[in-house]
Amino acid sequence: MPTTPTSTHSSAPTLAEVARHAGVTSATVSNVLRSRGRVGEVTRQRVLEAIAALGYRPHLPARALAEGRAPTIALMVASIANPFYPEFALAVENALRRSGQFLIICNTDGDPHTGRAYLEQLAGTLSAGVLVMNANLDFDDLRLSELRGAPVVLCMWEKPLESPGLPCVAVDFHLAGELAARHLIELGHRRIGAIVGSKAYGIHAARYDGFVTAMEAAGLDPAAAPVIHASDTTQGGYAAARELLSRHPDLTALFATNDLPALGAMQAAADLGFDVPRQLSVVGITDIHLASESRPALTTVAVPTVEAAELGVALLRELIAGTGKSGGQGEREAKVCVASPPHLVVRASTAPASR
**Which residues are at the interface with DNA (CB under 7 A)?**
11-12, 14-16, 23-28, 30-31, 33-34, 36-40, 42-44, 56, 58-59, 62-63, 65-68
Which of 174, 242 has the CB closer to a second copy?
Answer: 242
From the list a second copy, DNA, none, partner contacted by residue 43 (C-beta under 5 to 8 A by kind): DNA
In the complex, the smallest distance separating the C-beta of residue 148 from a second copy, rounded to whole angstroms, is 6
**Which residues in this chain contact a second copy in the complex, by CB under 8 A?**
5, 7, 10-12, 57-62, 64-65, 70-72, 79-83, 85-87, 89-90, 93-94, 100, 102-107, 120-122, 124-126, 148-149, 234, 263-264, 266-267, 270-271, 289-290, 293, 295, 324, 327-328
Which of 41, 250 has the CB closer to DNA?
Answer: 41
The span from the CA of 161 to the CA of 296, in Å, is: 35
Burial class (CB in 10 A: 0-12, 13-18, 19+), 192: buried
3-state secondary structure of 35: coil
In the complex, the smallest distance separating the C-beta of residue 145 from DNA, rounded to whole angstroms, is 17
In the complex, the smallest distance separating the C-beta of residue 71 from a second copy, rounded to whole angstroms, is 6
From the list DNA, a second copy, none, partner contacted by residue 26 (C-beta under 5 to 8 A by kind): DNA
Which of 162, 293 has the CB closer to a second copy?
Answer: 293
Helices (H), the chain: 15-22, 26-33, 41-54, 60-67, 84-98, 112-122, 139-147, 173-186, 205-217, 234-247, 259-271, 289-293, 305-322
Which of 14, 279 has the CB closer to DNA?
Answer: 14
DSSP structural state of residue 224: G
On whether the CB atoms of residues 177 and 214 are closer than 8 A, the answer is yes
The span from the CA of 344 to the CA of 309, in Å, is: 20
The partner residues of 103 in beta bridges, in order of sequence, read 73
In the complex, the smallest distance separating the C-beta of residue 140 from a second copy, rounded to whole angstroms, is 14
Chain mean position to CA 139: 17
Spatial CB neighbours of 176, under 8 Å, sequence gap ≥ 6: 207, 210, 285, 301, 303, 342
Which of 10, 35 has the CB closer to a second copy?
Answer: 10
From the list a second copy, DNA, none, partner contacted by residue 252 (C-beta under 5 to 8 A by kind): none
The span from the CA of 262 to the CA of 84, in Å, is: 14
In the complex, the smallest distance separating the C-beta of residue 181 from a second copy, rounded to whole angstroms, is 25
From the list DNA, a second copy, none, partner contacted by residue 52 (C-beta under 5 to 8 A by kind): none
Which of 58, 165 has the CB closer to DNA?
Answer: 58
First to last CA, the chain: 88
Which of 16, 161 has the CB closer to DNA?
Answer: 16
From the list a second copy, DNA, none, partner contacted by residue 293 (C-beta under 5 to 8 A by kind): a second copy
Which of 34, 113 has the CB closer to DNA?
Answer: 34
**Strands 299-302, 336-338: pairing kind:** unpaired
From the list a second copy, DNA, none, partner contacted by residue 42 (C-beta under 5 to 8 A by kind): DNA
User: CA nearest 233: which of 75, 81, 77?
Assistant: 81
In the complex, the smallest distance separating the C-beta of residue 62 from DNA, rounded to whole angstroms, is 3
Interhelix angle 139-147/112-122, nearest 10 degrees: 0
